[in-house]
Copies of this chain bind each other. A is one copy, B any other.
């Protein structure tokens, strides 16, 4: 059974933060939730026993040193940033004893509290990690499961998470952006109505705003850069081999095999 909590503080009332609030109130009706926006002093969170940091990655990294002076040493502090290693290092440096790095696999191309839902996390993986604070991780598992999520505990300080996300999340995002830009530069917006569902689906992610992504890419450049370089080299090599039927056939066959596993 998850622990009963009386108060919850959420820093960053966007899509994820507001959904955490709705999911927590679904589980614990009457729960006192304090939403802290970027204009609010960090002290407005009061002495909540559970604090969720749902701001962009760089905002979380900026808050952590100040947070250490505000929260009680017993408070569980959980973040929801899209990259983990830089945040884990910042939390350790800030000296927050019950910190757990977290990443709910939820959200979408749009953001903001207007899309928030109490069931956003239901059945979705929620990564959790801090091998140096097993009791805090145990509490965090109970908390995210109470929100409906499927807790996935990682054994390192976020490096494996960041490596995986660079491939399955950050690379598709950046590729969708670059493709959308390339198509419009080539044919202009007036010719986009000739596109079928193929271009539409392939670029769905390109509607995502920059706000959260700036710090995601900056905090994961070490993992993402080599993937982007490899993809660029593959596309360039293919460009030189478009007339080579064997090469094109093998390229399509490898893609079909890979896609069949997704």
Q: Which residues from chain A sit less than 8 Å from chain B, CB to CB?
A: 105, 108-109, 125, 163-169, 171-187, 189, 191-192, 194-210, 213-214, 217-218, 220-221, 224-236, 238-240, 242-243, 245, 248-249, 251-256, 258-262
Complex CA distance for A249 and B58, rounded to whole angstroms? 14
Q: Given A173-B198, A248-B218, answer yes or no on A259-B207 (Cβ-Cβ < 8 Å).
A: yes
A-B pairs with the 4 shortest C-beta distances?
A210-B252, A177-B255, A221-B242, A228-B239
**Contact between B187 and A163, CB atoms less than 8 A apart:** yes
**Contact between A187 and B199, CB atoms less than 8 A apart:** no
**Contact between A227 and B186, CB atoms less than 8 A apart:** yes
Number of copies: 2
Complex CA distance for A228 and B105, rounded to whole angstroms? 32
- Minimal Cβ-Cβ distance residue in B for A207: B259
**Contact between B256 and A182, CB atoms less than 8 A apart:** no
Complex CA distance for A195 and B226, rounded to whole angstroms? 19
Residues of chain B within 8 A (CB-CB) of A173 are 198
Residues of chain B within 8 A (CB-CB) of A245 are 214, 218
Majority secondary structure of chain A interface residues (helix, strand, loop or mixed): helix
Complex CA distance for A160 and B235, rounded to whole angstroms? 24
Name the one of B109, B184, B238, B256 contacting A258, with C-beta atoms under 8 angstroms. Answer: B184
Name the one of B178, B227, B238 contacting A174, with C-beta atoms under 8 angstroms. Answer: B238
Q: How far is the CB of A63 from chain B (nearest CB, A)?
A: 18
Complex CA distance for A217 and B238, rounded to whole angstroms? 10
**Contact between B252 and A208, CB atoms less than 8 A apart:** yes
Residues of chain B within 8 A (CB-CB) of A171 are 179, 182-183, 186
Q: Given A227-B182, A248-B218, answer yes or no on A258-B167 (Cβ-Cβ < 8 Å).
A: no
Complex CA distance for A240 and B204, rounded to whole angstroms? 24
Complex CA distance for A211 and B254, rounded to whole angstroms? 13
**Contact between A199 and B239, CB atoms less than 8 A apart:** no
Name the one of B163, B172, B242 contacting A217, with C-beta atoms under 8 angstroms. Answer: B242
Complex CA distance for A204 and B199, rounded to whole angstroms? 10
**Contact between A238 and B228, CB atoms less than 8 A apart:** yes
Name the one of B167, B177, B191 contacting A187, with C-beta atoms under 8 angstroms. Answer: B167
Complex CA distance for A202 and B166, rounded to whole angstroms? 15
**Contact between A224 and B202, CB atoms less than 8 A apart:** no
Residues of chain B within 8 A (CB-CB) of A199 are 168-169, 172, 262
Q: Given A164-B191, A192-B168, answer yes or no on A242-B259 (Cβ-Cβ < 8 Å).
A: no
Q: Given A178-B238, A181-B258, answer yes or no on A205-B201 (Cβ-Cβ < 8 Å).
A: yes
